[in-house]
Structure 1
Amino acid sequence: MGQSIAERRFAAHWGKWAVVGCLLLIGLGGLASGLTWLDQRFAPSLPRDKAISQLVLDRNGQLLRAFTVENGRWRLPVSLDEVDPLFVQMLLAYEDKRFFQHPGIDSAAVIRATGQLLRNGRIISGASTITMQLARLLEPRDERSLLAKLMQALRALQLERRLSKREILEAYLTLAPYGGNIEGIRAASLAYFAKEPARLSPAEAAMLIALPQLPEARRPDLHPTQARKARDRVLARMADAGVLSRQDAEQAQGQRLVSRRHHFPALAAHSAEAARRLAPDAKLYRLTIDRQKQAALEQLARDAKAKLPAHLSIAMLLVDHASGEVLARVGSPDFADETSKGYVDMTRAVRSPGSTLKPFIYGLAFEDGLVHPSTLIDDKPSAFDSYRPSNFDMAFQGTVTVAQALQMSLNIPAVSLLNHVGPLRLLARMRNAGISPILPGTAAPGLAIGLGGLGVTLEDLVTLFTALPRDGHAVKLHEIFGEAASSSAQIASDPVLSALGAWYVSDILRGTPPPDGAPRHQLAFKTGTSYGYRDAWSVGFDGRYVLGVWVGRADGTAIPGLSGRASAAPLLFDAFARIGGTTPLRLTRPKNAYAATTSELPVPLQHFLAPALSVANHKPGTAAPPLIVYPPQNAKIDLGLGAGGAQQPVALKIQDGAPPFRWMVNGHPLAGAERRRTSSWQANERGFSTLTVIDAAGRTDSVTVFLE
C-alpha cells in the first residue's frame, strides 16, 4: 500500500533536519580539524625545552653537586616522589584546589574571580591554575593584559592535551621562581633549608608556597619580614581549609624564619668535572663515591690546609680494594683556590713517588727467595757503579733485619735488593697493575727508580697497593657507578707480586710504627718523600680500603721540611678515623710462608750480602767529593719572604766529602765549620742565591736557588 499524506509529510520534515544535521556535523568536523591543525601548527613550549641542571649523584643516589644552566640559574629536576606529600597538599589547597578535575582552566575560579572584580572594583583573587602558571613559566610575557591572560589559558589547554597531571605538577615544581637564580622547589629547599624537599615542616612548606608569588620581594635572605608575613598567611589559609589544624598552624607561625641562603652541595669537584668531560650532554652522572666519606675527607683536607703555607695542596684517594670502586677522591682542598692551584687534580698528577715503591722491591725479593723478613741486611755507605744512594737523614743504621729495613724505609737495602731483582722487572710488575710509569729521558731504567726516579700518580700508587691485601693481584679502579667490569677485567691477568711476596710485605707494613700521636690502628702503610722535598706520600690499607695521601705544591716547588712521615702519614691515620675507623686486616698465610728468627733461617738466608762497592773501603784520597743533595739545583723555595720576612730556615744537606764542612752564601761564609752533613741557613732576601760547600780536602759543590 502507498504511504499516507501524514507519513509523507513526516518523512519530508525529518529529512530536512537530517540534511541540516549532516551539514552541521560536517562543519563541526571541519572546525575540529581546523582547531587540531592550529593546535599543532602553534604548539606550546614544553618542559623538555627548558635546560635542566646536570646532577652528580653518589653511589646511594645522594646529591654530590649540580651545575647551573643559562645565566647561572639553579634549576634542579624533581619528581613528586621526592617532595613531601604535605607540601603538595598545601600547594594544591592554596593555588589550585580543582587541579585534578579541570582541563587547564578552572571555570569555577574564573566565575568567582570575575564576581569579586565586579563587586569590589579590584582583583581580590586570581583564577590562574597551576597549568596556566606553568604556561607562563614556559613562555614568559612581560605584559600583564587580558590578551596575555587569554594566551595563558589557551596554552594551558594545549599543555593538558600533551602532558599528564603528574607531569604538569612536576614541571611547575621544577620551574617555579624562588628568588635570585633559584628555580624549582628542590633548588629552593637546598638554598634556604640546606636539605632535600622530601621532608618539610609546615613552616618550611608554607614558605616555599608563598615565595613564587613574589619571589624577589619575599626572599627570606633579603626581606625576612615580608617573607614571614607571607608564610604566616599561607599557614592561616591552610588552617581555614582544614589542611592543618589551628594548633599546628599557630605553632608553625611561631617558628623562627631561617633568613640565610646556604651553599649548594659541591662535593667531589674533580670527579664531577671528569665525568662531564666523558659525557658532556648527559643529564645525570652517578659515581661510586660515598657522599659521607667524601665530605669527611674534604673537611679533613680543609682543616689540614688551614695549618699549612698558602701554596701547599693536599690530595686523597680512597678505594674499596675488593671491588676497585673509588669511594672518595679529593683532588685538592679547594677547587676554586688560585693560590694553591686547587683546580689541578693532584690524584691524577704525575709526580715522583719517593720511597713508596720499596714494598714491591722487597716483595720481588721475597718471591725469589732472596731474603726472608728476618734476614740481616747491611745499611752502610755503598756504591752501585756510579750510583751512590744515601738515606733520607744522611745517617746509616748498620746491620738490620729486612723487615726493619722496610719499616724504616732505608735506601741502601732497597737499592741492594733492586740491584738483584732488576729495575726492568719492577717496571713490568707495575705495568701488570695497568699503570704506565713515566721514565725520565731515553736511557734504560736504573736503580734510581726504586727511590722515586720515575713518575706516577696517586691513583697509580693506590692501584698498586690494592695488590697487597689481594694476594698480589691489583684491581682496576673505576668511578662511574654501574661500570663495574667483569672480574677478569677488574683483576690484572698477571700478578704484581706472588701471594707469598704480598703476604710478607703486608705483614711487615702492618708493624710499621705509626706517626707520633696517631692511634695504633690495624693499618699497614708506607710513606715516601720525593727528591728535593717536593712531594710527601703515605699509602695505607686495612681489611677493606686502600687510602693514598699526597702533600706538596701543585707547581712542584721544593718545600723545606716536607716528608711523608711528618706531613702525609698523620693525615692518613686521621682519614681512616674520620671514615669510621679501620677494618681488621686479616691476611691468609700462604703455605710456603713461615715465621723464623734470623738464627733459625738456613745459612744462605741469614745475611744478605750485596756485591756493591762500599765507599768506606775506598783508599784515602779517593773518596767522592761533596754533593749538595738539598736544596737541589735551580730549586724554587717558598719561605714566605714576600710576607715580611723568612718564616723558616733553608735546610742544607750534603752527601760524601770529608768533614768538616764550610758553607758559603753568595761568596760570604756562614759562621763556623761543621762535621755534620746537615745544617740550616736563615735567609732574609728574595731572589737568586748561590750556595757553596767546601770539605776538608778543599773540594766544592755549588747550587743556585731562588727564594721567595
Structure 2
Amino acid sequence: MTFNTSKLKITNYIKRHKKKTIFIIVLLIFYAFCLPSQLFTKPTSTVITSSNNELLGALIAEDGQWRFPHRDSVPKKFKTCLIQFEDEHFYMHPGFNPVSIFKALKQNLQAGSVKRGGSTITQQVIRLSRDNRPRTYFEKVKELILATRLEFRASKEKIITYWSSNAPFGGNVVGLDAASWRYYNRQASDLSWAESATLAVLPNAPNLIYPGRNQHRLLVKRNRLLKKLLNKNIIDSITYELSVLEELPQKPYPLPQITPHLLQKINKKNKGKFVKTTINKRLQNQTNLIVNNHYNQLKNNEIFNISVLVLNINTRQVLTYVGNSKTTRINQKDVDVIDKPRSTGSILKPFLYTAMLDSGDLLPNMLVADVPTNFGSYHPENFDKKYAGVISAKLALSKSLNVPTVRMLQSFGLEKFHDYLQKLELRDLKKDPNYYGLTLALGGAESNLWDLCKSYASMASTVNHYSENSSRYFKNEFCEPTFYADQKIDFGEKSSEKIIFDAASIYLTFESLKDVNRPNADQNWEFFDASKQIAWKTGTSFGFRDAWAIGTTKDYVVGVWVGNADGEGRPGLVGVQAAAPILFDVFDKLPNSTWFEKPFDEMTEIEICAQSGYRATQNCEDKSLEFVQNAGLKAAPCPYHVLVNVDASENYQVNTSCEQLENIKQKSWFVLPPLMEYYYKDKNPFYKPLPKFRNDCLGAAKNAMKFIYPTEKSTIFLPKNFDGKKNELVLKVAHANSEAILYWYVDSKYLGSTKEQHEFGVDLNTGNYLISATDNFGNEIHQQITVKE
C-alpha cells in the first residue's frame, strides 16, 4: 500500500511539473554520458618484457613522449606516498573534498592569486585527461562534476592507475613506469621508499627533476613527505633516516634496448602495447655479450653482421633473439637478419640425409661414392678439393662433403627432396626443383635462420614426443615457434603416423651430426667430462657470403648466422670458423641436456656388412647387428663383396684352366669399382685390390678400367694461362691391372700410350670430341666431351 501511494505521488508530481521533470531527466542523461568512454587516447610506447616481466626495451610514443601503456596496478609504496602527498582522504570522498576546496579557495582569495589547489587525485585524473586546461574556476567546476561521475564508473584502485599512467614526470616522461626506468633504471615495484616519495612529489612540479635545477626544492618536498610517513607510522625511524640520505636522480637513464630487433618486429603488430615475451633476460644478455665479443674480432676481417636464435624445443618458445650485431648504420645494424633469406650453404644436408633414411634409400654407414663427378657443366667439389673414393654416408655428413651429397641427391631424386623441404615450410624455397638443380643441397637455395631453427627444433621434438608418448606422433609437430608469453603451442592430436620424417631417421641423423668435430678442438672432444652432446651442422655459401651453424640438444636449438647484410663475401667467412665458435659459446650458457632416447619402436635390428654399411649378404665375412630405421629393411644388399677363386697363397686369381680344383680357394673379396678404388686405396693402405689372374690362366686378360677425368658426358672449360695460351686438358684413367699399357685416342686419332700412371695431356680447341683409351688386353672405354674456353 505504501509503495503504491509513493508511486502515485511521483506520477502526480511529474504531471504537475513536466518542464522541471524533463529538465532533471536531461541533466541526469547529460551527467550519465558526460564522461568519455575512453579517458586517455594519446599514443603510448611499445614495451616488451622478458618472461619474468623484466623490461627488455621500449619505443617512444608517436608524439615523442615516453608514455608506457596503462598499468593495471600500482606498487604499494608509491600508492601510499601518492595518497599521503596528494590526497590523504582519497578513499573517503566521492571525487572531491569540500574541506580542501574551501581551504584552497580561502587562501587563494586572501593572496589574490592561485597559491593552493584543492584537487583530489580523481580531479587530477580528469584534468590530465583534458590536457591540463587553464585552472579557471569554471574549469574547476567541470572537473568536479566529471570527477564524481568517474567515481561512479571506476574503482578507487582504477583511478589510482589512471593517475600513475598519465601524470607528467618531467621532460618527455609520462607515467610512473617510464619515470621509474628513466630516473632509477628499474621497474616501479623495485623502488625504495625514498625513490617512491621522489616520484610521488614530482608531478606537483615536474620541472624540478632537471639536473642542477631546483634540486634543493625537490629534496625538501621529498623529505617532508618522508617525515609525514614517519609521523603516521607508515615507515619506521631507521627507514626514515636511511631514506633521507638517498641522493636524488641527476639525469635520465637510457631505457634498456636488450632485444631491439625483436622490439621492432613486435611493434609492427602490437604498436603502443605492453607485450610480455618468452625471452630469458639473463640468457639474452649473455648472448648479446658473446655476439659483441665475436663481432669485435670479425670486424677486423670486415665481417659486420651476426644473428643468433635460441629455441626451447619442449615449449617451442624463443629464449634469445639477436637480430643483428651492434655494428654501424652503414653496415646495416638495423636489419633483422633472422628472417631474411640467405644462401643456405650445406645447412640443408641433414634434411637430405634424413629423407633418404626415411625412404629406405640409405643406411647410416652405407658407403657412398666420393670421386670426381660431372653433371653436364656442373662439377661439384669438396671444400678441400680431395676425394676419398668411397666414404660412409654418416661420415660424409659429419665432414660435410659436397660430392657424396650431390651424388646422393641425384640418386634420391631432386623432386623428391624438394617435396620434403616443402613440407618443412621453408618459406624462401619458392622455385620449382629444376630452378635449383643439384645445387639444392649445397646452397643453391635460400632460407632464413628462423625457418631453419624451427625445422631442427621440430625434428628434435619429434623424437622427444615419440619417446614420451608411447610411440605416437603429434600432428602439429612442425609448427611455428613463438616469442609471445601468452601464446601456448598446440602440438595437435596424437597419431600413429609420422608427420614428415619418422623418429628413427631423425635420431640416426642426430647421431651422425653429434660426431662432427668441434672448431679448434681436439679430435677426441667427446671424452672430456665438460663436453655436451650436441648434434650440429655448419654451412658456407658460395663466395664466402654466409656462415651458418645450427645445433640441437634434447632441449634447445641454437642457430647462428654470420656475414655481411649487403651480401659481400670475405675470406675466412666459413661456418666452422666464424659461426660455430659462437654456437658453442651460447650452448655453454645453457643447461646440460641428456641425449635423445633411441626410438626402438621405429627401429629394426638387422645384419650389416661392417665394411660397406649395406645390408649383409652371404659374401660379407665381417657382420654386425645394428638397429636401423624400419624403412632400412628396403635398403640394397652389399654390392661390393664378391666370391673369387684364388690360389693357396691368395696372391692370384685362378680357375680350372690353370689349377687343380682341390687347390682352388674360394674367398670373399671387398672390391670397389676402378674409379672409387683409385682414390680409396691412397687413404686406406690396408685395402687389398682384387688379385690379377695368374699368367697361365685363361681369362687373364680380363681387366677393368674407368675414366677419372673427364667423368661421364661433360662440358670442360679450358682457361688461359699468364702467357695467353690455353691450358691443356689432362686425361686420367684408373686401371685394375697395374701392369696394363693404355693407348690414347681423340676422335680415333692416336695420341700416345701410358704405363702405371695413366695420365695424358692434350691440347684441344673448342668443340665436341670422343676420347678413347684401349689397353694392351683389348679392353676399350670411351668418353664424349665438349670443350669451351
Deviation at 1:92, TM superposition (A): 0.7
Are 1:39 and 2:50 an aligned pair?
A: no
Partner of residue 333, structure 1: 325
Are 1:452 and 2:443 an aligned pair?
A: yes
Deviations 1:37-78 (CA, angstroms, capped at 9, x unpaired):
553575468524444434445555554444433422122234
Q: 5 Å matches for 1:666-705? A: none
Structure 1 CA distance for aligned equivalents of residues 534 and 375 of structure 2: 34
Are 1:592 and 2:604 an aligned pair?
A: yes
Structure 2 CA distance for aligned equivalents of residues 347 and 291 of structure 1: 19
Are 1:53 and 2:45 an aligned pair?
A: yes
Q: 5 Å matches for 1:303-702? A: 303-309=293-299, 312-334=304-326, 337-397=328-388, 399-438=390-429, 443=434, 445-471=436-462, 475-479=478-482, 480-484=484-488, 486-488=490-492, 495-516=499-520, 520-578=531-589, 580-590=590-600, 591-592=603-604, 597-598=610-611, 599-600=622-623, 603-604=638-639, 617-618=708-709, 624-625=716-717
- Counterparts in 2 of 1:367 and 1:27: CA distance versus 1, 3 Å: closer
Partner of residue 5, structure 2: none
Structure 1 CA distance for aligned equivalents of residues 336 and 135 of structure 2: 51
Question: Which amino acid in 2 is paired with 1:545?
Answer: Y
Deviation at 1:500, TM superposition (A): 3.0
Are 1:301 and 2:392 an aligned pair?
A: no
- Counterparts in 2 of 1:484 and 1:251: CA distance versus 1, 3 Å: closer
Q: 5 Å matches for 1:230-241? A: 230-241=221-232
Deviation at 1:321, TM superposition (A): 2.6
2:259–2:321 Cα contact (<8 Å) kept: yes
Deviation at 1:562, TM superposition (A): 0.2
Deviation at 1:549, TM superposition (A): 0.9
Higher-Rg member (1/2): 2
Structure 1 CA distance for aligned equivalents of residues 730 and 208 of structure 2: 80
- Counterparts in 2 of 1:346 and 1:117: CA distance versus 1, 3 Å: closer
Deviation at 1:267, TM superposition (A): 4.3
Structure 1 CA distance for aligned equivalents of residues 416 and 209 of structure 2: 69
2:728–2:762 Cα contact (<8 Å) kept: no
Are 1:94 and 2:117 an aligned pair?
A: no
Partner of residue 249, structure 1: 240
1:536–1:564 Cα contact (<8 Å) kept: yes
Q: Per the alignment, in what secondary structure is the counterpart of residue 617 of structure 1?
A: strand
Structure 1 length-normalised TM: 0.76
- Counterparts in 2 of 1:368 and 1:157: CA distance versus 1, 3 Å: closer
Structure 2 CA distance for aligned equivalents of residues 186 and 323 of structure 1: 30
- Counterparts in 2 of 1:209 and 1:443: CA distance versus 1, 3 Å: same
- Counterparts in 2 of 1:280 and 1:322: CA distance versus 1, 3 Å: closer
Question: Which amino acid in 2 is paired with 1:204?
Answer: E
Deviations 1:118-166 (CA, angstroms, capped at 9, x unpaired):
7778776532211221122111345344444444334333433433322
- Counterparts in 2 of 1:593 and 1:313: CA distance versus 1, 3 Å: farther
- 508-517 or 29-38, larger mean C-alpha shift: 29-38
Deviations 1:660-693 (CA, angstroms, capped at 9, x unpaired):
xxxxxxxxxxxxxxxxxxxxxxxxxxxxxxxxxx
- Counterparts in 2 of 1:331 and 1:152: CA distance versus 1, 3 Å: same
Structure 2 CA distance for aligned equivalents of residues 59 and 141 of structure 1: 37
- Counterparts in 2 of 1:486 and 1:88: CA distance versus 1, 3 Å: closer
Question: Which amino acid in 2 is paired with 1:583?
Answer: S
Structure 1 CA distance for aligned equivalents of residues 729 and 221 of structure 2: 82
User: What percent of counterpart residues are identical?
Assistant: 27
Q: Per the alignment, in what secondary structure is the counterpart of residue 207 of structure 2?
A: coil
- Counterparts in 2 of 1:617 and 1:226: CA distance versus 1, 3 Å: same
Structure 1 CA distance for aligned equivalents of residues 371 and 325 of structure 2: 40
Structure showing the higher strand proportion among its residues: 2
Aligned with 2:102 (options 101, 107, 111): 111
Deviation at 1:381, TM superposition (A): 2.7
Q: Which runs of 5+ in 2 are unaligned?
A: 1-9, 464-472, 612-621, 625-636, 642-669, 679-705, 721-726, 732-760, 766-789
Structure 2 CA distance for aligned equivalents of residues 282 and 489 of structure 1: 36
Partner of residue 640, structure 1: none
Structure 2 CA distance for aligned equivalents of residues 116 and 406 of structure 1: 87
Deviation at 1:317, TM superposition (A): 2.0
Deviation at 1:87, TM superposition (A): 1.7
Residue correspondences, number: 616
- Counterparts in 2 of 1:588 and 1:619: CA distance versus 1, 3 Å: closer
- Counterparts in 2 of 1:223 and 1:582: CA distance versus 1, 3 Å: farther
Partner of residue 210, structure 1: 201
- Counterparts in 2 of 1:103 and 1:489: CA distance versus 1, 3 Å: same
- Counterparts in 2 of 1:220 and 1:171: CA distance versus 1, 3 Å: farther
Are 1:71 and 2:81 an aligned pair?
A: no
Structure 1 CA distance for aligned equivalents of residues 371 and 407 of structure 2: 11
Deviation at 1:227, TM superposition (A): 4.1
Structure 2 CA distance for aligned equivalents of residues 656 and 354 of structure 1: 32
Structure 2 CA distance for aligned equivalents of residues 513 and 307 of structure 1: 23
1:458–1:550 Cα contact (<8 Å) kept: yes
1:430–1:496 Cα contact (<8 Å) kept: no
What's the C-alpha RMSD, in Å, of the aligned pairs?
4.1
Structure 2 length-normalised TM: 0.69
Structure 2 CA distance for aligned equivalents of residues 192 and 54 of structure 1: 19
- 94-103 or 341-350, larger mean C-alpha shift: 341-350
Structure 1 CA distance for aligned equivalents of residues 44 and 279 of structure 2: 23
2:348–2:441 Cα contact (<8 Å) kept: yes
Deviation at 1:389, TM superposition (A): 0.9
Q: Which runs of 5+ in 1 are unaligned?
A: 1-17, 629-654, 660-695, 701-708
